[in-house]
Structure 1
Amino acid sequence: MKRELTKILDLTGVVVKSKKEIEKTLILEVEASSKTARCPSCQKVSHRLHQNHWHLVKDLPGGEKEIFLRVNRRQFKCNFCSKPFSEELNFVKKRQKYTKRYAQFIVEEVINSNLLGAAKRNNLTEKEVESMINQVSQEVDRSPDCESGACGQLDSRVFPIPLKNLTRLGIDEMALVKGQGKFIVVLVDLETGKLIGLIPERKAKVLEKYLTSWGKEILEQIEEVIRSPDFKSGEARMTRFPSKYRYV
């Protein structure tokens, strides 16, 4: 049963230790499968477990059930510099009450509706939703050099953001809360409909810098860009990219 739950949970390097069901809520007790962790001070690998620290985080729903993970973020003591440290977990940030993939799930709801609606449907506050948007806007800024669409400690199954086959790019802006001047820029692969970028500012310079970071190979394979009319002011800068771009 534990192996089946671990497979269903589908988080790289994470194992399910036990489960508990309370009405429409499922709580899974999880921890990293590795028996070691790397010391952030001296970069040496340690297997010396110091303490267990458990905390509850919200994950993607499963059907009609809310799913929470009781996460063990273990504390190790370094064998070399003797300093205690907490292990890094690639699916949830420290002191966060939700997984990275749950944050993306909420952001996609915001994009398809609005901030207030997404907050109400998921029993969240507006501040919690805004915090998730800020988190995802940082996490989706990945290097396209990784074919899986994710680099470093970001697992491709947490944020699947492939750019390898991107040919049609959609650029739009969205007001988080009407009348409050809070906007984000949304980048979408128009062929798959998947979110591939989220920028917390709508300045042309910021957009240009973001797109340039994808690299020449990715930019040259894009055949069409459909963008919101609100970005007309930034079009002059964007035409520095390949001339085959067609703005609609």
Structure 2
Amino acid sequence: MPVAQRLVTDRRGSTVWEVESRRGRYAVKLGYPIEATTDWPAQPWTALAPAREGAVLHRLGFEEIAYGEWERGTWNIQPWHEGPDLYRLWEPCRRDASSLVPRAGVALGCVEALAELHAKGWAHGDVQPAHFIVGPERTSLIDLALARGGHVPESYDFPFRGCLVHYEAPEIARSVLSTGEAQATREADVYALGASLLISATGWRAVEYPDDAPRPVQRAAVAKGSRRPVKAPGELGELIDAMLSHAPEDRPTIHEVGKALR
């Protein structure tokens, strides 16, 4: 029985609340299919995403998770993670880049959260600044609906068709353009983390394309590797450039990134 609740997100295919009860604070997620429009095709997978994430979290050993179905899709309930996301936390750096340098300790917290997932044999598939919650004691990596690495019930599973293009690795973009699907990998996660750190610190995407470009045009630019001449300030700049290497084999592993930051 909730004693307080707050609507956090209400977008196409997904609604999220922060809910407080006598047992604690929770994130409550509701998924439903996205109907086709003149600009966008239908997206039925969004209805399954909450339950798929719940199943992934269970596989990773998180016990305080519940998920199930409702008449239009699926839902999950999971503990609430307190703190700003990476992009919001580094807003002062984007506002005053001349004097404020992003803290390597914050970046290291993001790296450690992703490294923990990789160590369990999983790839996140949807790494972006909003999915790193920088808490008072540790950074949490959230939204694992697209993660790959273990068994997920077939009734809740769906193909991986890429993620938010701003953070999509070139090999993922090429595969989606040619086949409509891709394979989430740890190397692509490292690229996405580099792109997340870059945009959070500077406000600039890693790849250059028009803001209003259609999704296929965006992906074509990513696949080609049309990098912007933008570098993060301070000690992060060179490391992020390596994370954004065009070829997956040229990128450092998440453990190498963590070692460099330490």
Task: Decide: shared fold, TM above 0.5.
Answer: no
Structure possessing the higher relative contact order (Cα contacts under 8 Å, 6 or more residues apart): 2
Bigger proportion of residues as helix: 2
TM-score with structure 1 setting the length:
0.30
Structure with greater Cα Rg = 1
